[in-house]
Amino acid sequence: MKDIKKVILAYSGGLDTSIIIPWLKENYGCEVIAVAGDVGQGEELEPLNEKAIKTGASKLYIEDLKKELVEDVIFECLKANALYENKYLLGTAFARPIIAKRLVEIAKKEGADAIVHGCTGKGNDQVRFELAIKAFAPDMKIIAPWRIWDIKSRDEEIDYAEKRNIDIPLTRETNYSKDKNLWHLSHEGLDLENPANEPNYDKILEMSVTPEKAPDKSTYINIYFEQGIPKKLDGVEYNSVEMVKKLNEIGGANGIGIIDLVENRLVGMKSRGVYETPGGTILYYAHREIESVCLDKETSHYKDLLGQKLGEILYYGQWYTPLREAICSFVNKTQENVTGEVKLKLYKGNIITAGISSPYSLYDEEIATFDKDEVYNQKDSEGFINLYSLPITVMAKKYNKK
């Protein structure tokens, strides 16, 4: 402990990091520099400077990482249609590598002896933070209080805070664990820990309304993609961050993107949470639709396999690895002609395709038509089927003799 003179703390102002600052000073006697990554938390960031200094930090960095988050991570996964376990849109996982990378940059700038995070020993985030830190500072010491202190529960954390008059952003009765960024908002804990309990959506939702409370009238939107990246909404060009924000507003108002999910954490246990991802749900749906007319069958099917793998790589904290870079290189090649517009109808939690157009569309109406055509000779299919079925035919003749 004596060699720890200055540390960088990944700071959110939540329960964990609120008590970690005084805990570090009590147990290490070190200087604590707090770093908050602005990944779209909004008003949550406003009181952090005063709070961090009041609880013992020597200074606070608030780093605007929103553009980097969207363009360097989220859109790379969007182009791959990357999900985790076919359902989770990776909201929490997206932000971690970007934040950890900036922690290392500031630690080097400040000459810190260690980086500290408030992740529990049960969660995924400890792995995501530490693998990213090791990618950029392999010899940096890492302190994870949850793995070494005597505190065993969130109630004990609250006790610790109350004894030291530390202001915390929750009570014992509203002690949901939340993670918010530009892409999503997650809710875990309390009654949600039992998968048999239906979530009280009216109580917990913040980005969205329930489908029942969404308008009785459909909302139509048009999203224009250029090489797999959303560029325009209803004919208006938006930058990456504003595109996500605008779609969050539209999707949230229509009850889009509310997911109740039981997932397999990296450490092996199952966890249950409610996720709000309104804009992201729209973008993933729309991107798949534009790809449906722009990609050939073999590329599309193989890309699905790599998209699933990319989702796992991000979820498991392996973003800064050669495999991730190689997969993204492949995906970016597939997106060269993924350009065009998707028209969607949003209605009470549903997304319905209302039209797809692209100058690179591989859909040929003359070939696909059920009417008479002059470009497809249906007699050709007989020879194709004979060749395609040859292995089956040979096996049937061989084994049916017995």
Annotated binding-site ranges for ATP: 10-18, 118
pLDDT of residue 170: 63
Residue among 144, 125, 133 nearest 266 (CA): 125
Which residues are annotated binding-site positions for L-aspartate?
120, 124-125
- For position 5, what pLDDT does the model report? 97
Binding-site residue numbers for L-citrulline are 88, 124, 128, 177, 186, 263, 275
Strand-pair partners of 259: 275
Q: What is the pLDDT of residue 243?
A: 98
All domains in the chain, ordered by first residue: 6-174 (3.40.50.620), 184-295+338-357 (3.90.1260.10)
Task: State the pLDDT at residue 375.
Answer: 79
Q: Show binding-site residues.
A: 10-18, 88, 118, 120, 124-125, 128, 177, 186, 263, 275
> Model pTM greater than 0.85?
yes
Name residue 340's beta-bridge partners: 225
Looking at residue 402, what is its pLDDT?
Answer: 60
Cα 380 to the center of its chain, rounded Å: 47
- Give the residue numbers marked as catalytic: 16, 96, 125, 177
Reduce the secondary structure of the chain to three states and give it as a string: CCCCCEEEEECCCCHHHHHHHHHHHHHHCCEEEEEEEECCCHHHHCCHHHHHHHCCCCEEEEEECHHHHHHHHHHHHHHHCCCECCCECCHHHHHHHHHHHHHHHHHHHHCCCEEECCCCCCCCHHHHHHHHHHHHCCCCEEECHHHCCCCCCHHHHHHHHHHCCCCCCCCCCCCCEEEECCCCEEEECHHHHCCCCCCCHHHHCCCCCCHHHCCCCCEEEEEEEECCEEEEECCEECCHHHHHHHHHHHHHHCCCCEEEEEEECCCCCEEEEEEECHHHHHHHHHHHHHHHHHCCHHHHHHHHHHHHHHHHHHHCCCCCCHHHHHHHHHHHHHCCCCCEEEEEEEECCEEEEEEEECCCCCCCHHHHCCCCCCCCCCCHHHHHHHHHCHHHHHHHHHHCCC
Per-residue pLDDT tens digits of the chain, which is 402 residues long: 669 999 999 999 888 999 999 999 999 999 999 999 999 998 889 889 999 999 999 999 999 999 999 999 999 999 999 999 999 999 999 999 999 999 999 999 999 999 999 999 999 999 999 999 999 999 999 999 999 999 988 889 989 998 988 887 665 556 688 899 999 999 999 999 999 999 999 999 999 999 999 999 999 999 999 999 999 999 999 999 999 999 999 999 999 999 999 999 999 999 999 999 999 999 999 999 999 999 999 999 999 999 999 999 999 999 999 999 999 999 999 999 999 999 999 999 999 999 999 999 999 887 766 677 677 788 889 999 999 999 999 999 989 866
CB atoms within 10 A of CB 86: 7
